Copies of this chain bind each other. A is one copy, B any other.
Amino acid sequence: MSHKIYTFDELRDLFIKYSEKKIITAQPSGLYEPVNYIMGLTGKKIRPVVCLMVANVFDENLDHALPLAYSIEMFHNFTLVHDDIMDNASVRRSKPTVHVKYGANSAILSGDLMMIKSYEHLINCCSDNDLKFTILQLFTDTAVKVCEGQQYDMEFETAENITLSDYMQMIELKTAVLLGGAFKSGAVIGNCSDKDADHFYDYGLNLGLAFQVQDDFLDIYGNPDVFGKKPGGDIIQKKKTFLYLKAMELTEDKEKLKMLYNSDNLPEQEKIDKVLSIYDHLNIRQATEAKMNELTAKAETHLNSILVPEENLAVIKQLQKSLLERIN
């Protein structure tokens, strides 16, 4: 190993220290306070750490990767602030959402500011304009897709006849592309080859998809002691999850499942049990596990194609394990 490879926790600490120096003290405080508030909430910081982690595969010095990681985190938080208004969500990371704390107008405008600031951090990350333009293209393509994903997500709530492939496209756009982008941006700032940068992208994308499908899986089959909530919340909220859409694809009585899933007059536990019994009958658990395995295998094929010393990828493999091991 030619240089130090940091662990996830070390990178997260580095990132948090860097973030603390980025608190905005400018005026008007009514614009900047909501930005400092959301950026200061404790979160997993997976996306910025991923960017640093990949940059670290190629270089011990992370001076150029840190502002880039910060840009990605700020973009992600901008989407959270605006999505929370659209979804009428009142809690984020156990705290009031920005629009609840500061009002919808502040949340719109401070979100806009964060979007612009995420570009500002990006264009100041280093002095190599050609390299920055590659990242700018990636960042902008990704941002467009994230908006498209949010639009599909909003439309899906009321839309009829959503298919499993619609769903996979939606989660790809809404969340997986940003993870792919975080991986690839770290590769680009690390001066990686185009081919390997694309492998990092596809690795992150498939990992993101697997993680999202797992999220749906855990809502039903997760260990409540580990997962921290009662199984079946998605069923009560009538969420069009991978499991429901897979069941709709497989069942011979689509009308029956649809009516049951959208019914409001059954006791909650009875509704959950009835849906679960259909899932069991259709082997939805196995089908979902198969999908997660397929996506994970696809991700790994990309990671294994990258031409760097294997030991430099060890922390990435460990991160993957920690992201995808919540099933057991």
Contacts and interface: CB of A to CB of B under 8 A. Distances in A.
Contacts of A297: none
A144 B113 contact: yes
Chain A residues touching B, majority SS: helix
A137 interface: yes
Interface stretch (A45-53, A57-65, A149-157, A320-328): A149-157
Given A129-B133, A133-B132, A140-B120, A147 B105 contact: no
A111 to B, nearest CB: 8
A168 interface: no
A270 interface: no
Interface in A280-296: none
B30 A147 contact: no
Contacts of A148: 26-28, 31
B30 A155 contact: yes
Interface string A34-55: 0000000000000000000000
A284 B12 CA distance: 59
B86 A151 contact: no
A86 B105 contact: yes
B86 A147 contact: no
A117 interface: yes
A119 B119 CA distance: 9
Interface in A235-287: none
Interface in A144-173: 144, 147-148, 150-152, 154-155
A143 B152 CA distance: 28
Q: Which 3 A-B pairs have the closest CB atoms?
A: A31-B151, A129-B129, A86-B105
Interface of A: 26-28, 30-31, 82, 85-86, 105, 108-109, 111-113, 115-117, 119-120, 123, 129-130, 132-133, 136-137, 140, 143-144, 147-148, 150-152, 154-155
